Structure 1
């Protein structure tokens, strides 16, 4: 007699999927009552499955945020949660039907931080292998694009828009802005999106090369041009960047003698190597950057006016971080993810620490912010949360000069209120008193006290 195969009903399959898909899963209804919890979760908690069905989730799971999700109706992805003295990583998803939250699901992604750190390290190792294979084809290529420019503030958006327009032309560009604002990032992005994107992107920091070596770095030299010259000579940055882009960082630090030679190359589109009698034609687009005031330097005769006008076809100012504090909300998660990936750690920054970061002026801009976050990631304790104590004192301290005594603040506010009322009333005391909702005699007393 032929045996029939057992029937696989939907509820059986769904139950098996829920039991095996995650390290743990719990479902609550609109009131926060547990309607389902997987065996993996109860084993993790060390409780009996049948005993918790019908109980409120806060009575079963320590520090649960499912009630908060029921109230907000918003998903919380990969958040830390302290259970039994250790941190795990969990996600919480509201169940919404016809616009109404009818329940929520909690999913355990990692039972402890060590598991997550191990995964980070494995992913990081794979990324290093991929980067290794990319290197052969990535020499002298731009590494960044516009997606690496993080922020949505109006000033940054204006700079990005101007840079995107610069991609559509071959004209020279000057990027201005304080140190650490991301000028090199913009230079990479402009080249990456330009018609020269498949050609070389060559960088030279004019401030990092001694004046006596700058000419050979830019234009190269022939064999035997000077004592110590390499056999066969050496190509300069212009020759290496032929058909591509040459990024001249810290152009304001270029010696005046070198400025004249650079101007000639830009005008004639040809270079002459040291020790050579024959010019070589080059096709190079120039993107220059500086944190100095070139207009002021031109007025003082420190920077050549003709070179400035040749370079300053498209000028883009990169705003400092203090002028776009709202972008810190986007920069911190981006930088944190990059740093954690490199260090093989998983760390979170809670709202309290974010408030501290947003209240600081960041004179070193994004570069300083990145350094501070990396320091904090390294100092964060095993619970993987960055607290204000992990930040440098320069970021967390409030200077006494920033806070005035309460009495002085109140007196200043009162004086300003009286002056405003007098201004609006045309100097008429009775009308000013009515605006301030005080008697005329009281107004006179306060005016005398404020020396008005």
Structure 2
């Protein structure tokens, strides 16, 4: 028929009255193999083939036709052009390869960006989160950062801003909603006109929303926002405009909102202390940042980073004994990265020796009433007397750091004043 002629480029005269074997030998008919197979086996055979005359990809189905006695009397071939489908599959495959290449390039750019901003990320989980943050930065959708205090939500929000096109047009502004009294927070967020209240700036003052125009506004600890301010924030998000306190004219805004909290916002919604409609406005792109104890691969590079940072800050050259790393990794870090930074800074300040010993790390960590299974870990075999002296020295240092007088430190250690003085002199400890 005409459809077959279009597929093969050959009209019916090439086929009518011809023997199938002759057509196959001449290369005119390509379907001999499945036609003969359908004839011999008495069942439908399907195959994808390429027509030699036109190069088209076709799906050929050979259907046997049976006579009244059940014998195959003829075979009808149905030929469908699948060249377009094949081309689409090729385009899809190429698109997937291109997407993979772009994803790889994006990851490399992300790593370069993180290095430039001195952001330390090693664990696969955090790499995925930063990758998601950078993809998120290409949109203006509202982001809700979830995670414990100290996990790095502010750092992540800065990455989102710095990798967006807003970085060149506007500023990154942040405000802690839980650190400012409600009566002051409203004026900080929305600004005020002159004469709005007693003691106000006579010229008025723009709020954080105005300062973040064309940029990004981080609303930290959003879970602590009062019910009345939740209503006003919801209106700003819906209308993209703000009224200053004492003002009557709306101020149009173009602001990317990032909200962050260490609370379970959905529990607060269910408890009726956080508006459900505001939650859905904020929860467009939620990103949950895991605690440090769940990404132990980050502890070592973060430790090296902070030691280098505080060596430069305090102009010292100190390093951490590698045997102390398992101690840091075993600790639960309830304060997360912020606590790790605090502990390492204190160690560099209070440790007199150039090498920070594992025992010194244990003593610093034991000062916190946190989930730490063992305050002392034995990493190597030492002579008992040497171990006793090391422990004795660190306990005296700890007591001197914790109490204002030597007499009080001696009392806590269960020693008399003169005995503590002799031991302090022996170990070179000064009070």
Question: Number of paired residues?
Answer: 259
Alignment match, 1:102: none
Matched, 1:315 2:286: yes
Q: How far does residue 158 in structure 1 lie from its aligned partner after superposition?
A: 2.0
Aligned to 1:146: 114
After the TM superposition, which residues 389-404 of structure 1 pair with which residues of structure 2 at under 5 Å, given as runs? Answer: 389-391=359-361, 393=363, 395=365, 399=373
* Residue equivalent to 1:372: 343
Which one scores higher on RCO, CA 8 angstroms, separation ≥ 6?
Answer: 1
2:259 is the counterpart of 1:291: no
Which one has the largest radius of gyration? 2
Paired position in structure 2 for 1:352: 323
Equivalent residue number for residue 183 of structure 2: 212
Deviations along 1:253-278, one digit per CA (max 9) or x if unpaired, are 01011011001001101100111111
Deviations for 1:32-58, whole angstroms, at most 9, x for unmatched residues?
xxxxxxxxxxxxxxxxxxxxxxxxxxx
Q: Residue by residue, what CA displacement relative to the aligned partner does 1:80-110 show, whole Å, maximum 9, x if unpaired? A: xxxxxxxxxxxxxxxxxxxxxxxxxxxxxxx
Structure 1 segments of 4+ aligned residues over 2 angstroms from their partners: 144-149, 388-403
Q: Is the 8 A contact 2:343 2:364 kept in 1?
A: no
Of 384, 399, 414 in structure 1, the residue corresponding to residue 354 of structure 2 is 384
Q: Please give the secondary structure, in 2, of the residue aligned with 1:303.
A: coil
Distance 1:328 1:264 in 2: 42
Could you list the runs of 5+ residues in structure 2 that have no partner in the other structure?
A: 1-111, 378-431
Change (3 A) 1:283 1:303: same
User: Which residue of 337, 342, 354 corresponds with 2:313?
Assistant: 342
Q: Which residue of 1 aligns with 2:34?
A: none
Q: Does 1:245 align with 2:227?
A: no
Q: 2:141 aligns with which of 154, 168, 171?
A: 171
Q: Secondary structure at the match of 1:242?
A: coil
Q: CA deviation at 1:156?
A: 1.0
For residues 300-343 of structure 1, the C-alpha deviation after alignment (integer angstroms, 9 at most, x for no partner) is 11111111111111111111011011211211111111111111
Q: Distance in 2 between matches of 1:252 and 1:146?
A: 28
Q: Given that residues 163 and 186 in structure 1 are in contact (C-alpha distance below 8 angstroms), is that contact kept between their aligned partners in structure 2?
A: yes
Query: How far is the alpha carbon of 1:152 from its aligned partner?
Result: 1.9
Distance 1:321 1:399, change over 3 A: closer
1:233 aligned to 194, 200, 204, which one?
Answer: 204
Alignment partners' CA distance in 2, 1:167 and 1:365:
25
Match 1:261 to one of 232, 244, 247: 232
CA distance in 1, matches of 2:145, 2:347: 31
Partners of 1:145 and 1:188 within 8 A in 2: no
CA displacement at 1:399 relative to structure 2: 4.6
Q: Structure 1 residues 402, 302: closer, same or farther in 2, change over 3 A? A: farther
TM-score, scaled relative to structure 2: 0.58
Cα gap change, 1:312 to 1:400, in 2 (>3 Å): closer
Given that residues 327 and 362 in structure 2 are in contact (C-alpha distance below 8 angstroms), is that contact kept between their aligned partners in structure 1? no
Q: Give the TM-score, by structure 1 length.
A: 0.55
* Residue in 2 that maps onto 1:414: none
Secondary structure of 1:261's aligned partner:
helix
2:347/2:364 contact within 8 Å kept: no
Q: CA deviation at 1:354?
A: 1.4
Alignment-derived partner of residue 181 in structure 1:
151
